[in-house]
């Protein structure tokens, strides 16, 4: 769990060319889902490439608390012996999901239709985040939740003893909410239907299909209508987790803004519901190339080459692209500072309820580094200064948010003066090898 240890200040200094191969860790979203679905089927699920970051390790611990056997062998392969749909045991202790909104929300969904009770908590960041978006639809199945004011953790969920299937239109674009409802629907008889107006990441749907569930997605005038038939016998799987495009975003953006750079990120997941950043970077004039496009384990993957791109232009990011790059706006705002002209980002109010208020956190740090940023409730504009002209020299607050910390470390690679963060320890939640990986490419990030 991050945020409890002593803060780890970090400073990023202007770097030489970044070159070589960036073997970023496994996809965080897919890793959580692999563990949870593995725990929901009888038999052994084998997972390679699992992200061994704190967020996912907390989910592994939680699956053990609900009765699954979860082990890691000496080769780094994970083995999950699950308990079957509806087979979760009642945990004896509080479930601590650390910093992970995905972990807690998906697990709440997975246990909400079993006759058990569980209490969830997290770190100071997670305990500020809204949970009603998940407990409201779970109540429709018959589950009950009691937490702190405003639907915050710590929170106790009592699962429904006789769950009923639901039809639910997700009111905010959130894959976590969609997934929580689908996971709850697994143990409800009949058809659970989830409707989303805007497409969000579809790893849960893809993985449920892989595990043998009957799940159909139709694109209609209402949006994406996802129908899941409850109480399936899930079949254990062998899962190869692709590398995380959201982690790849950091070396890719670093290469794009750092003179002379040429970085290859092999085998990254390119699910279209995740790839919005790369489309946007290309529109800005970034030199990105996909090589070896292929499909692995039901997910599209490719090798991605990123090179220094001196003539970036500010762009208007279409709001309908927001869900496919929601975690990448912080690092995009850094690239935007090195582009010429404004980059306009609208339809992004979800950024305000992530691990931190990401608009506020990035705007404060960028402004302190000499960049003009305007912002409103669901939009922000970064006025780019052009390559070589970004002053830097600031210390930024990371607010227990891994992506804020990593974004400012990327910024410091190309600013005139170094950029610091007060605490880089949250980076371990999603990208535990960030420092050695970036150093291996030629970045100069120092502790202190
Ligand atoms: C995730 C969904 C997104 C994303 C998060 C991972 C997931 O959150 O920001 O990092 O794995 O389902 P929301 O569902 O809140 O948009």
Q: Are 336 and 366 in contact (CB under 8 A)?
A: no
Give the closest residue (by CA) to ligand 1 atom 13: 174
Q: Average of pLDDT values for 382-389?
A: 98
**Which residues have C-beta atoms less than 6 Å from ligand 1?**
29, 102, 174-176, 179, 201, 326-327, 350
Tell me the residue length of the chain: 448
Q: Are 383 and 342 in contact (CB under 8 A)?
A: yes
Q: Average of pLDDT values for 245-273?
A: 96
Composition of the chain by helix, strand, coil, percent to 5? 35, 30, 40
Rounding to the nearest 10 degrees, give the CA dihedral for residues 133, 273, 268, 430: -20
Ligand 1 test: best mutation among 27, 32, 101, 402, most atoms within 8 Å of CB? 101
CATH 3.65.10.10 in the chain, residues? 10-26+242-447, 28-239
**Assigned fold of 28-239:** UDP-n-acetylglucosamine1-carboxyvinyl-transferase; Chain (3.65.10)
Q: Average of pLDDT values for 252-259?
A: 98
Q: Is the pLDDT of residue 369 over 50?
A: yes
Q: Is 287 a catalytic site residue? A: no
Is domain 10-26+242-447 annotated with CATH 3.30.505.50? no
Label residue 299 by pLDDT band (50, 70, 90). Answer: confident
Ligand 1: centre distance to CA 260 (Å): 34
Pairing relation of β-strands 379-385 and 372-376?
antiparallel
Q: Strands (DSSP E) along 110-174, which ranges?
A: 117-121, 144-148, 152-158, 167-169
Label residue 4 by pLDDT band (50, 70, 90). Answer: low
The residue assigned the tokens 């849960």 is 204
User: In this structure, what are the phi and psi dihedrals at residue 415, rounded to the nearest 5 degrees?
Assistant: -85, 165
In this prediction the pTM is 0.97
Ligand 1 test: best mutation among 97, 201, 406, most atoms within 8 Å of CB? 201
Q: Is the pLDDT of residue 2 over 60?
A: no
**Catalytic pick from 27, 58, 202, 327?**
327
Question: Is residue 407 marked as binding?
Answer: no
């Amino acid at each position: 769990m991050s945020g409890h240890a002593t803060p780890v200040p970090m400073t990023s200094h202007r770097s030489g060319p970044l070159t070589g191969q960036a073997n970023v860790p496994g996809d965080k979203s897919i890793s959580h889902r692999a563990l949870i679905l593995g725990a929901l089927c009888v038999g052994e699920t084998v997972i390679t490439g699992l992200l061994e970051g704190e967020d996912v390790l907390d989910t592994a611990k939680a699956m053990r608390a609900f009765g699954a056997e979860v082990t890691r062998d000496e080769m780094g392969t994970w083995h999950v012996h699950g308990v079957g749909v509806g087979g979760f045991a009642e945990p004896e202790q509080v479930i601590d999901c650390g910093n992970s909104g995905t972990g807690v929300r998906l697990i709440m969904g997975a246990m909400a239709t079993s006759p058990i009770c569980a209490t969830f908590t997290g770190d100071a960041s997670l305990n500020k985040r809204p949970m009603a978006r998940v407990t409201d639809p779970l109540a429709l199945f018959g589950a009950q939740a009691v937490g702190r004011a405003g639907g915050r953790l710590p929170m106790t969920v009592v699962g429904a003893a006789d769950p009923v299937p639901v039809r639910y239109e997700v009111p905010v674009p959130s894959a976590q909410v969609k997934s929580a409802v689908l996971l709850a629907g697994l143990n409800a008889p009949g058809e659970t239907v989830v409707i989303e107006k805007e497409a969000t990441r579809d790893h849960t749907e893809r993985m449920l299909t892989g595990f043998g569930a009957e799940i159909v997605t139709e694109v209609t005038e209402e949006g994406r209508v996802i129908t899941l038939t409850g109480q399936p016998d899930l079949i254990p799987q062998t899962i190869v987790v692709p590398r995380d495009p959201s982690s790849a975003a950091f070396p890719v953006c670093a290469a794009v803004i750092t003179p002379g750079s040429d970085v290859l990120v092999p085998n990254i997941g390119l699910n279209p519901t995740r790839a919005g950043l790369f489309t946007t970077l290309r529109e800005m004039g970034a030199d990105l190339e996909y090589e070896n496009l292929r499909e692995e384990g039901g997910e599209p993957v490719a090798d991605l080459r990123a090179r220094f791109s001196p003539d970036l232009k500010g762009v208007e990011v279409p709001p309908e692209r927001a869900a496919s790059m929601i975690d990448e706006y912080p690092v995009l705002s850094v690239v935007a500072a090195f582009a010429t002209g404004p980059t306009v980002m609208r339809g992004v109010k979800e950024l305000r309820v992530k691990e931190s208020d990401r608009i506020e956190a990035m705007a404060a740090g960028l402004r302190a580094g000499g960049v003009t940023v305007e912002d409103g409730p669901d939009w922000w504009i970064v006025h780019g200064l052009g390559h070589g002209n970004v002053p830097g020299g600031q210390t930024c607050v990371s607010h227990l948010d891994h992506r804020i910390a990593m974004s400012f470390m990327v910024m410091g690679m190309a600013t005139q003066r170094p950029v610091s963060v007060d605490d880089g320890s949250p980076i371990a939640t999603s990208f535990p090898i960030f420092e050695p990986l970036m150093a291996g490419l030629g970045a100069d990030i120092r502790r202190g």
